[in-house]
Amino acid sequence: MFKNTNADGTLNLCSKRVAALRKERNLSQRALADELQLRGLDIGKNMIQQLESGRRYVSDIELKVIAEYFSVTTDSLLG
């Protein structure tokens, strides 16, 4: 049966990249959530924490807004 997870057990491909980009900008998870909320995403600090730890799926809309915020392509977020 198909399991929608990565080989390492995480639920998304962008967790490490999002965490690295956030840390490069010296943002807290709360600050990143606030910035993404200003761009129309209904996302909180706990959701950022789950995303970065790979315990949460990322929708295509969330991926697009995160990529736009960090000025990178969605492909670069996905690895």
Q: What is the residue-wise DSSP string for 30-67?
A: HHHHHHHHHTT----HHHHHHHHHT-S---HHHHHHHH
Percent of the chain with pLDDT over 90: 71
Domain that holds residue 64: 15-70
Residue 52 lies in a domain: yes
Whether residue 20 is contained in a domain is answered as: yes
Give a yes or no: residue 48 inside a domain. yes
Contacts 24+ apart (CB under 8 A), 17-20: 17/76, 17/77, 17/78, 17/79, 18/48, 18/51, 18/52, 18/66, 18/70, 18/77, 19/52
**Residue 53 has what pLDDT?**
92
pLDDT at residue 78, as a whole number: 85
Residue 10 lies in a domain: no
Number of domains comprising the chain: 1
Res 8 pLDDT > 90: no
CA distance linking residue 55 with residue 8, whole number of Å: 11
Does residue 39 lie in a domain region? yes
pLDDT for the residue 3: 60
pLDDT at residue 11 is higher than 90: no
Arithmetic mean of pLDDT, 4-20:
83
pLDDT at 21 over 60: yes
